[in-house]
Amino acid sequence: MASSNWFQPNAAPGRAGNAPAAPAEGQPPPPSGGEAPPAPFGGGAFSFLILALPLLLIFVMTRSQNKKQKQLEANLKVGDRVYTQSGILGRITDLSPNSPRVKLEIAPGVNVQILKSAIQGPDPGEVAAADAKVADKAKEPAKDKKS
């Protein structure tokens, strides 16, 4: 077989002798002394912006979501049909302004307690039905005027 040091890695290119490797053609020579080359794109200021902008974006998005949720919770009243994060549709039967909980009737005689923060919004079926009623009322006077 070959020599006993076959598992040893070869020396890195340019490191075989005592002389340092010559820079490739077209590249500037390595800096000598204690002076470091300037950082690309402005150095620390640029890297700070790279880190700060996504954090600012997350903060702004979270803040707007919190505002919408607080507004929704403030507009809740007994009798509203709502849907929850888990997809449960129900009607609010008990609402205390100081309590974080709401009683929701999900079927006749079946009441559950949920957190106000779990309510996502008004029942989409109820909103569509209310919009259809408003559209029907808008069409009826137009028909009467033509007659």
Q: Is the pLDDT of residue 129 over 60?
A: yes
Least confident of 50-54, 106-110, 113-117: 50-54
- SS in 3 state form for 11-33? CCCCCCCCCCCCCCCCCCCCCCC
Q: Is the pLDDT of residue 48 over 90?
A: no
pLDDT of residue 138: 75
Which pLDDT band, with edges at 50, 70 and 90, does 139 fall under?
A: confident
The HSE-up count of residue 50 (CA atoms within 13 Å, CB side) is 7
Using alpha carbons, select from 106, 110, 109 the residue that is nearest to residue 119: 106
Q: How far is Cα 122 from Cα 78, in angstroms, rounded to an integer? A: 12
pLDDT of residue 93: 94
Q: How far is Cα 143 from Cα 137, in angstroms, rounded to an integer? A: 10
Q: Is the pLDDT of residue 89 over 90?
A: yes
Percent of the chain scored above 90 by pLDDT?
Answer: 38
Q: Is the pLDDT of residue 104 over 80?
A: yes
Which pLDDT band, with edges at 50, 70 and 90, does 123 fall under?
A: confident
- Structural domains in the chain, CATH included, are 77-134 (2.30.30)
Distances (CA, A) of 9 to 6, 65, 126: 8, 57, 74
Q: Per DSSP, what are the bridge partners of residue 23?
A: none
Give the pairing type, strands 119-122 and 81-84: antiparallel
pLDDT of residue 71: 92
pLDDT of residue 125: 82
pLDDT (average), residues 63-69: 92
